[in-house]
Amino acid sequence: MAVSQLSPVDAASSDVSGAPALDHDAIIIGAGMSGMYQLHRLRELGLKVRVFEAGSGVGGTWYWNRYPGARFDSESYSYGYSFSPELLAEWDWSEHFAPQPETLRYLNHVADRFDLRRDMRFHSRVTAAHYDEALRGWAVTLEDGSRHTARFLITAIGPLSAPTLPRIPGIESFTGQSCHTARWPHEPVSFAGKRVAVIGTGATGIQTIQEVAKTAATLTIFQRTPNWCAPLHNRPISKDEMATIRAGYPEMFRRCQETFSCFLHTPDPRGTFEVTEAEREAFLEELYASPGFGIWVGNFRDYLVDREANAVVSDFVARKIRQRVKDPAVAEKLIPTNHGFGTRRVPLETRYYEVYNQPNVRLVDLRETPIEAITPAGILTSAGEQAFDMIIYATGFDAITGSFDRIDIRGLDGVQLKESWAGGPQTFLGVMVEGFPNMAMLMGPHTALGNIPRSIEYNVEWVTGLVRHMRDHGLTRADARPEAVAAWTEHVKSIGAGLLSNEVNSWFTGYNSNVDGKQTRIIARYSGSAPDYRAWCDAVAAKGYPELLLD
Ligand code: NA7
């Protein structure tokens, strides 16, 4: 079927039914990993697609997060696209956990290879997207005021793309250099001879700190809440090893489809107390010595729901921190006390704890001495002022719903998405929202995140399948039925019941101390298994989408 039968993009002013013409079949917001792949798939269907991207290039997360030390915490080869055998055949990863510049190169290579840029517009931040029933489509407004219409609106805006600065008085007054990690300059930044402050000790802060500590004259780390970190154990990939990895791709991607969160690691079938103490200790030692997320997502099957089991794992990691940090008082400050291991995203590190043994590094515990202000010269805590040449804000994101909140998205009757999600997101499969016809979310709230590229590919395939179904049946409007949204939202809630991570303030639970209205925890993610998630979605498609109102 030709494009014009799906939507009247070729018509001068109106289609055969008299409806006003649309500029595009689909508008995708964002040229990160999900937007790139969605563009590719929809173009294969013959659709006219436009991607709007705020940045100057492709890559999304890997475009924006160029801070020092940024890299994969998942095995590189499991974190690329799997859809193209040619792409898999031609791309070599240089490290088991690739650094950001390599990943950005990879995504640029993908954009070149599939000629994606010709349908992308950069420097084009979307400020508003309004559904228009007369169009049976969306009108998208850019920062420059221009307006663009399409049948489908596909958000590929990322769960971690709306950076948040701390709400500290005087933040604008600082006269040195300062930067949020997700807005890092494109030019190289030198720390040599500089007095550097880092605020924030999440996964980003940890990667930044271990890098900056190598060259800064002094590095002062402002920590509000310590996180449980574990060793990354990165190493280069030799040519021979890459050949072996390549030969094993089909098997590896099959494994990713079977594991709980699509990672190469998956929970150990044993319960924490089903083994002897010696076996437990040996297993934890093995995990601590192994690369990647194994210690987090490949640990005993019950430790993320059973408090006692969790305490055992936490105690093991606490002992490691005490062994690695020479000053016992500093070690205690680095050991979390308000949440157990694995209940927040576990930052992976390379000699992070050893940084605190360096003479040029100092830890400031904000629970003891809170920041009172940023001053022109530096940072004022309750213990006094310290001068800096540079302040790095590794203070995280308004996660999962934040990127939606920053666009004025309105559905039927002008209802604003932000308003309708004020009490927490309500979705169908994390993809559709009732009252927002023809809008599909990639990596939206209530989807299975896990190994994100794997989840992206599945999400994109599902959305592509829906668009294909509509094209094949001459349908121009899809909305989620309210009962389907209620049932899915309830399912997401019930599946998260009992998870210790849902009792903790973190981006997993949509908590952000720096954003108004985000100081309550919500169920933001689908926390069941990825195979279960796919089974739900596949069943919907196989039945012909009865949960959607299609016409
Ligand atoms: P995170 O994990 O949300 O970490 C943000 C850090 O910044 C965390 O340590 C926060 O402490 C700290 N923070 C935030 N606001 C403040 C203020 N106002 N004062 C002091 N400290 C503050 O974000 P990341 O960028 O590290 O990681 C996000 C994800 O990106 C990561 O999990 C990966 O999946 C990739 P808090 O814990 O709130 O006390």
pLDDT at 313: 98
Separation between Cα atoms, residue 262 and residue 9, nearest integer Å:
38
On whether the CB atoms of residues 344 and 288 are closer than 8 A, the answer is: no
To test the pocket of ligand 1, the residue of 513, 514, 515, 518 to mutate (highest count of ligand atoms within 8 Å of its CB) is 513
Separation between Cα atoms, residue 550 and residue 361, nearest integer Å:
60
Q: Which residues pair with 480 in a beta bridge?
A: 548
Separation between Cα atoms, residue 155 and residue 261, nearest integer Å:
22
Separation between Cα atoms, residue 457 and residue 79, nearest integer Å:
11
The tens place of each residue's pLDDT in the chain, 551 residues long, gives 333 334 434 333 444 455 679 999 999 999 999 999 999 999 999 999 999 999 999 999 999 999 999 999 999 999 999 999 999 999 999 999 999 999 999 999 999 999 999 999 999 999 999 999 999 999 999 999 999 999 999 999 999 999 999 999 999 999 999 999 999 999 999 999 999 999 999 999 999 999 999 999 999 999 999 999 999 999 999 999 999 999 999 999 999 999 999 999 999 999 999 999 999 999 999 999 999 999 999 999 999 999 999 999 999 999 999 999 999 999 999 999 999 999 999 999 999 999 999 999 999 999 999 999 999 999 999 999 999 999 999 999 999 999 999 999 999 999 999 999 998 999 999 999 999 999 999 999 999 999 999 999 999 999 999 999 999 999 999 999 999 999 999 999 999 999 999 999 999 999 999 999 999 999 999 999 999 999 999 999 999 999 999 99
To test the pocket of ligand 1, the residue of 66, 343, 395, 506 to mutate (highest count of ligand atoms within 8 Å of its CB) is 395
Query: By C-alpha distance, which of 529, 508, 535, 538 is closest to 262?
Result: 529
- Within 13 Å and on the Cβ side, how many CA atoms surround 157? 31
For residue 166 and ligand 1, the question of a CB distance below 6 A is answered with: yes
For residue 518 and ligand 1, the question of a CB distance below 6 A is answered with: no
Ligand 1 closest atom vs CA 203: 26
147-155/137-142 β-pairing = antiparallel
Residue 291, phi-psi category: left (phi > 0), alpha (psi -120 to 50), beta (remainder): beta
Separation between Cα atoms, residue 335 and residue 175, nearest integer Å:
33
Q: Whose CA is nearest to atom 36 of ligand 1?
A: 225
Other beta carbons less than 10 A from residue 49's beta carbon:
25
Ligand 1 closest atom vs CA 181: 25
Determine the distance separating the centroid of ligand 1 and the alpha carbon of 494, expressed in angstroms: 27
- Within 13 Å and on the Cβ side, how many CA atoms surround 312? 24
**Burial class of residue 416 (count of CB atoms within 10 Å of its CB; 0-12, 13-18, 19+):** middle
- Enter the pTM of the model: 0.96
Ligand 1 closest atom vs CA 163: 25
pLDDT at 19: 61
Determine the distance separating the centroid of ligand 1 and the alpha carbon of 432, expressed in angstroms: 29
Other beta carbons less than 10 A from residue 496's beta carbon:
18
Q: Whose CA is nearest to atom 14 of ligand 1?
A: 395
Separation between Cα atoms, residue 247 and residue 395, nearest integer Å:
40
Determine the distance separating the centroid of ligand 1 and the alpha carbon of 153, expressed in angstroms: 31
Q: Domains in the chain, ordered, with CATH?
A: 8-58+116-162+399-544 (3.50.50.60), 171-239+263-393 (no CATH)
Determine the distance separating the centroid of ligand 1 and the alpha carbon of 258, expressed in angstroms: 31
For residue 202 and ligand 1, the question of a CB distance below 6 A is answered with: yes
For residue 200 and ligand 1, the question of a CB distance below 6 A is answered with: yes
At 547 the three-state DSSP class reads coil
How many angstroms from the chain centroid is the CA of residue 492? 18
Separation between Cα atoms, residue 419 and residue 425, nearest integer Å:
10
